[in-house]
C-alpha cells in the first residue's frame, strides 16, 4: 500500500487499514510502518495521522518534513 502513494501526496494510517481490508488494525499498521528500515524507498514519510498531524518518523520529524516539502515541489 505504501508504494502506491505517489510523490507529493499523503495518506493516513486509517485509510491504509481500510485499503488492505483490515479497518481495525490501524495501530498495528502504524507500528509496522514505524519500523520500516527503508523509509526513503518505501515511502512511510507520506503517511500522516488521521487528524493531519505528522505523527512519528524513524528518522525524526525534521527529516519527514524536509522529505514531504522536497516531494511537493
Give me the active site residues, please: 44
If DSSP states are collapsed to H, E and C, what string results for the chain? CHHHCCCCCCEEHHHHHHHCCCCCCHHHHHHHHHCCCCCCCCCHHHEECCCCCCCCCCCCHHHHHHHHHHHHC
Amino acid at each position: 500500500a505504501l508504494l502506491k502513494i505517489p510523490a507529493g501526496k499523503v495518506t493516513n494510517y486509517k485509510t491504509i487499514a481500510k485499503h488492505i481490508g483490515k479497518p481495525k488494525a490501524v495501530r498495528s499498521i502504524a507500528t509496522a510502518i514505524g519500523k520500516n528500515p527503508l523509509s526513503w524507498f518505501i515511502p512511510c514519510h507520506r503517511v500522516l495521522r488521521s487528524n493531519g498531524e505528522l505523527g512519528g518518523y524513524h528518522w525524526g520529524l525534521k527529516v519527514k518534513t524536509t522529505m514531504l516539502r522536497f516531494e511537493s515541489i
